[in-house]
Amino acid sequence: MAENKFGMLFVASDISPDDEIDFNAWYDREHIEERVRMEGVISAARYIAVTGRPKYLGLYWAESISVFASPAYSHAFKNQTPWSMNVLPKMLLPTRRIGDVSADVGQGSGSWVAVLPLNAVTPDVEGKCKNVGALLAEDNAFVHSYLISPNDELSRPLPLEDLATRKMCPLYIIESSNSASNEAALRHAIEALSCSPADAARYQLTWKLSREELK
């Protein structure tokens, strides 16, 4: 029997300093809770960059990728709240990807997250990422690593995403409990997976909400 895979929504963007206060208030006071209340969404977390860009990252875990193909989610995406309609067109360098989670090693969430876009889908990319994760897991500060394989149909772009340069690259994520471990893990992954350091970014957790915490 095939392993049931979690689904994930990955959203990263910059924002103009003039819009940053409203952007963060929208995320923290409306959008995160709104999405976590949707059937099948497990949690949502926000991060801020410590190296690389874009500056802001959101990771939304779901029971499966089918959650993001549901009528309820499609309706919410096409019928955004007034606040969302004001904020979304202001998100700069946005990347919105929805995909299956695979090559899963470890468990839980770390306070430090490395994001490594892979150049292309190479043969046995899941196996390679799984092997990298197994080596990284030897570090006591390692928490979790996994691969997000974007679905082109579901990964509908945000208003300002440059469609001319848009690529459905797999994203390798490494979560750690401290910054030094996360930085070292990213260096190892870049070398092992033959990726460009210029494409990578590291983030620190700002806050997370799970469905069990909803009131």
Domains of the chain (ranges plus CATH)?
7-208 (3.30.70.100)
In this prediction, residues 206-210 reach a mean pLDDT of 97
In this prediction, residues 47-63 reach a mean pLDDT of 98
Sign of CA dihedral 22, 23, 28, 31: positive
3-state secondary structure of 149: strand
* Helices H / strands E in the chain, number of each: 6, 8
Sign of CA dihedral 149, 175, 215, 56: negative
pLDDT at 28 over 80: yes
> Please, are residues 102 and 184 in contact by the beta-carbon 8 Å criterion?
no
Is the N-terminal amide bond of 54 cis, ω within 30° of 0? yes
3-state secondary structure of 29: helix
Please report which residue ranges of the chain form alpha helices under DSSP H. Answer: 20-26, 32-36, 71-78, 82-87, 125-136, 179-192
Q: Look at residue 167 in the predicted model and tell me its pLDDT.
A: 87
d(CA 157, CA 10): 12
Q: Read off the pLDDT of residues 131-172 as tens digits, 9 standing for 90 and up.
A: 999 999 999 999 999 999 999 999 999 999 999 888 899 999
DSSP letters spanning 97-139: EEEEEEEEEE-S--SEEEEEE-SS--TTHHHHHHHHHHHHTTS
d(CA 36, CA 170): 24
Dihedral angle, C-alpha 195, 3, 43, 163, nearest 10 °: 40
pLDDT at 124 over 90: no
CA nearest to 11, candidates 211, 186, 187, 159: 159
Least confident stretch, 51-60, 156-165, 184-193:
156-165
